[in-house]
Structure 1
């Protein structure tokens, strides 16, 4: 997972859709994950840009991503 440039996250209550793209825009993976798995992905992923919609939980996930070394957009 080291070549991920942008990690786009669609937030929800129980499952989250994550889509990773390479610098050229190619989709590397697109899958649904649980809350615990999203935490693991953000911790293990090399620093990249994390993009998500603005909503109540985006502040929590944005701070979480930043604490893992990611740039929050």
Structure 2
């Protein structure tokens, strides 16, 4: 997977992800429980991560 941008909506307990390639086409859409999100992101090669967050999501953003 050649993901250029990972878009994340950090919800209260479930996070929605969308991965985009260089042309902006959606490669994947997934939902993770918040505690499993970092494990998935570690498996990706470096890319831009764009987050839409709720008020308490700043903790995840630091990682």
Q: Aligning the two structures, in what range does the TM-score lie when normalised by the shorter sequence?
A: 0.7 to 0.9
Supply the distance in 2 between the matched residues of 1:47 and 1:56 (Cα, whole angstroms): 26
Q: Deviations over 1:10-54 (max 9, x none)?
A: 111111000000011010001211123211111111110000125
- In proportion to residue count, which structure has more strand? 2
**Looking at both structures, which has the greater relative contact order when contacts are Cα pairs under 8 Å and sequence separation is at least 6?**
2
- In proportion to residue count, which structure has more helix? 1
Supply the distance in 2 between the matched residues of 1:58 and 1:35 (Cα, whole angstroms): 10
Conservation of the 8 A alpha-carbon contact between 1:6 and 1:49: yes
Conservation of the 8 A alpha-carbon contact between 1:52 and 1:58: no
TM-score by length of 2: 0.83
In structure 1, the residue corresponding to 2:62 is in which secondary structure? helix
Number of residue pairs aligned between Structure 1 and Structure 2? 63
